[in-house]
Copies of this chain bind each other. A is one copy, B any other.
Amino acid sequence: MARHQPHLLVPLPTGDDPVPVDQETRHHLEKALRFDTGLVTYTDGEGLVGEGVYEHGMVIRGDETLVPRPDLITVAVAPPHSNSRVRFVVEKLAELGVSQLVWLQAKHGQGRPPRSDKSRAWVRSALEQSRGAWLMEVHGLVPVPGLGEFGTPIFADPSGATVDELPAIDKPVLCIGPEGGFGRDEVPETAARLRLGATILRVETAAIAGAVLLRGSEMGPPPWHSTGKT
């Protein structure tokens, strides 16, 4: 039934020697997917992608391409209070091709960022699942005044502009506050504000909706991977 070739994140040193996958990936491929050998695609998470052959723990490298870094999209999110919702934020933003996730330290924040080993595993699995070429970076906690380092903050706000009304912004950092909202003095008065729609969204839903609106549907899939359709 699975018609996708596996897509693997592997370190890609200079040269073309076969590269080993880690134990966990090997276990997943061979035990869970019963995939001992066959065609795969692979990436270093920094734009280099290739089509090769997997054989017993090794990737034999084939044709490789460098996928240009997509436009930088950064989403800053106050961690929701439940672990499953935190995981959802990480996984979905990575799947959607967001470049950077910044955990936002908000005055009324109720949750905490995930452990970094968990976070890395979720990002990796989303990259492999979505057949991406660029690994999402995760930063934080960062308070609102520290966001300037990542780009120009845009705050999700029901009274804000629609995405079409928003002026062009070079390195947008979409900021999603905690359930209770930002504190009164927390958001600079002159900051840009984006409306996410007609309903009040949970933190994780707002993060995803905001990423989708910023990202749009303009770009097609990169040419180097199969669509998995029959």
Residues of A within 8 A of B (CB): 1-4, 70, 84, 88, 92, 95-97, 108, 110, 129-132, 157-159, 162-163, 179-184, 194-202, 205, 208-209, 212-213, 215-222, 225, 227-230
Q: Would B209 and A96 count as touching, CB distance under 8 A?
A: yes
How would you classify the secondary structure of chain A's contact residues: helix, strand, loop or mixed? loop
Q: A3-B180, A205-B96 are in contact. Are A158 and B212 (CB under 8 A)?
A: no
A219 in contact with B197 given A227-B158, A230-B180 (CB within 8 Å): yes
- CB atoms of A198 and B222 under 8 A apart: yes
Q: Is the CB of A162 within 8 A of B216?
A: yes
How many whole Å from A42's CB to the nearest CB in chain B?
15
Contact of A200 among B131, B157, B230 (CB under 8 A): B131
Question: A162 CB to closest chain B CB, in angstroms?
Answer: 5
A1 contact set on B, CB distance < 8 A: 108, 110, 180
Whether the pair A229, B97 counts as a contact (CB closer than 8 A) is no
B198 touches A219 (CB 8 A): yes
Minimum-distance CB pairs A-B, first 4? A198-B219, A181-B229, A130-B199, A212-B212
**CB-CB under 8 A for A200 and B221, given A1-B180, A92-B205, A181-B229:** yes
Docked Cα-Cα span, A217 to B183, in Å, equals: 24
- Docked Cα-Cα span, A218 to B182, in Å, equals 22
* A199 x B97 contact (CB < 8 A): yes
Q: Complex: how many Å from CA A141 to CA B123?
A: 32
Whether the Cβ atoms of A220 and B158 lie closer than 8 Å is yes
Complex: A96 Cα to B212 Cα, angstroms: 13
| A217 with B195: CB separation less than 8 A | yes
Asked, given contacts A181-B227, A208-B208, A213-B217, whether A199 binds B132 with beta carbons under 8 Å apart, the answer is yes
Q: How far is the CA of A228 from the CA of B203 in the complex (A)?
A: 13
Question: Are B200 and A130 in contact, CB atoms less than 8 angstroms apart?
Answer: yes
